[in-house]
Amino acid sequence: MAVTRRTALASFAALVSPLAIPQRAASQAPADWRLARETEWPEFAAKFEQLGAKGTLVLLDGLRGGKLIANAGRASEPLPPGLTFAIPTTLIALHLGDAKDIDEEMFKWSGQRVVADGKQLYSSACDADIPLRVAFANGCVPVYDELARRIGADAYNDWLTKFDYGDPLPETARVEKFRGDDNLRISADQQTKFLRRLITKTLPVTPRASALTEEAMFIERIDKTAIHGASDDRLAVPPAKGWWVGFAQRGEDVVLVALHLDRPNNDRAGLRYDLVKDALRAIQML
């Protein structure tokens, strides 16, 4: 029998396992998931259990359409979009001209820090006159509240429908402010489908609006992979429930990512992004 990389790894695992039972490491993703309609990833789902958390992760191959899911049941559960709602809001504002650009226009700071339970809620980067790029990177909700006022409720609801963003709103419900209200919901599966339309340029917005939104989403480049995203971790006081949503691109290879984590205790900034990078390493995008 020919010795492949996979069989070699399995043989090594058998040698080092106390029970001599070959097992795929939790960090190793299922093979050929990019070619399958949907593949479960229970080893990654176990990471949530180890954290004492409920969570889900969806990876969608941007070119082939294969999907890799940890906790499929939760992947279809509609949840509030949180700060990831900055992605469609930025798109709408740039398309309509309610935001001129992401660098030159400065959004005025009110001079008042937002405090919750005695702690400053937003990053100190929000405490200044800042451009949209900085507001996006730091989750500066007051800037996005201003964009929501400029866009207006009618346009907001019209464009969310055009984007097919999340679950349809009830007939009596309207999104009138950033992050919507209790009626606005989107699942992890829907997040990746929306992002796929963004990166394939099939959303009904100008190419400039798409390009600038992707630029605002840029986080870092690791080796040859560029990572773009939005996360509730951008709050100075991270929520126990929240998202990391974005994509990783290396050449023409693009993977859309949506992770939601519900961790009741000891939540920390950067946790969701750390989990996303673990997943990207497992699929050899990092």
Q: What is the pLDDT of residues 182-210, one digit of tens each?
A: 778 999 999 999 999 999 999 999 999 99
Question: Is pLDDT above 80 for 212?
Answer: yes
pLDDT of residue 44: 95
Look up tokens 């190793």; give the residue.
28
Is 90 exceeded by the pLDDT of residue 97? Answer: yes
Same domain assignment for residues 5 and 132: no
The CA-based angle 61-88-154, given to 5 degrees, is: 140
Tokens 């919507």, residue located: 180
**Which pLDDT does position 206 carry in this prediction?**
97
Q: What's 272's domain CATH number?
A: 3.40.710.10
What's the rounded mean pLDDT across residues 101-124?
85
Q: What is the DSSP string of the chain?
A: ----HHHHHHHHHHHHSTT------TTSPPTTGGGSS-EE-HHHHHHHHHTT-EEEEEEEETTT--EEEESHHHHT--B--GGGGHHHHHHHHHHHTSS--SSSSPBPP-S---EETTEE-S-GGGSS-B-HHHHHHHT-HHHHHHHHHHH-HHHHHHHHHHHT-SSPPPTT----STT--TT--B-HHHHHHHHHHHHTT-SSS-HHHHHHHHHHHEEEEETTEEEEEEEGGGSSS--SEEEEEEEEEETTEEEEEEEEEE--SS--TTHHHHHHHHHHHHTT--
| Residue 188 pLDDT | 98
Q: Residue 68 and residue 33: Cα distance in Å, rounded? A: 6
Least confident of 47-56, 118-127, 217-226: 118-127
Same domain, 11 and 56: no
Residue 127 shares a structural domain with residue 18? no
Contact, 169 vs 159, CB < 8 A?
A: no
Residue 163 confidence (pLDDT) above 70: yes
Percent of the chain with pLDDT over 90: 63
Same domain, yes or no: 2 and 109:
no
Q: What is the band of 239 on the pLDDT scale with cuts at 50, 70, 90? A: confident
For 12-67, how does the pLDDT look when each residue is reduced to its tens digit (9 = 90+)? 333 333 333 334 445 688 888 988 899 999 999 999 998 888 999 999 999 999 99
Say if residue 191 is in the same domain as residue 261. yes
> Are 19 and 50 members of one domain?
no
Are 97 and 60 part of one and the same domain?
Answer: yes
Q: In this structure, are 217 and 165 located in the same domain?
A: yes
- What is the band of 223 on the pLDDT scale with cuts at 50, 70, 90? very high
Q: At what angle do helices 188-199 and 207-217 cross, to 10 degrees?
A: 120
Give me the pLDDT at residue 172, please.
65
pLDDT of residue 129: 95
Instruction: Looking at the structure, tell me whether residues 216 and 92 fall in a common domain.
Output: yes
Residues 20 and 52 in one domain: no
Whether residues 25 and 118 share a domain: the answer is no
| C-alpha–C-alpha distance, residues 246 and 243, integer Å | 10
Whether residue 94 is predicted with pLDDT greater than 50 in this model: the reply is yes
- When the pLDDT of each residue in the chain is averaged and rounded to a whole number, the result is 86
The answer on 20 and 36 residing in a single domain is no
Domain of 124 in residue numbering reads as 32-282
Q: Nearest-5° angle of CA 37, CA 43, CA 44?
A: 80
What percent of the chain clears pLDDT 70, i.e. is strictly above it?
A: 86
Q: How far is CA 49 from CA 54, 67, 108, 151, 264, in A?
A: 7, 22, 43, 41, 12
How high is the pLDDT of residue 207?
97
Give the pLDDT of residue 181. 66
At residue 215's C-alpha, the angle toward residues 197 and 95, to 5°, is 60
5, pLDDT greater than 50: no
Q: Quick check: pTM over 0.85?
A: yes
Task: Please determine, for residue 266, whether its predicted confidence score (pLDDT) is greater than 80.
Answer: no
How many folded domains does the chain comprise?
A: 2
More confident residue, 2 or 175: 175
Q: Is the pLDDT of residue 10 over 50?
A: no
On the question of pLDDT at 273 being above 80, the answer is yes
Is 78 in contact with 185 (CB distance < 8 Å)? yes
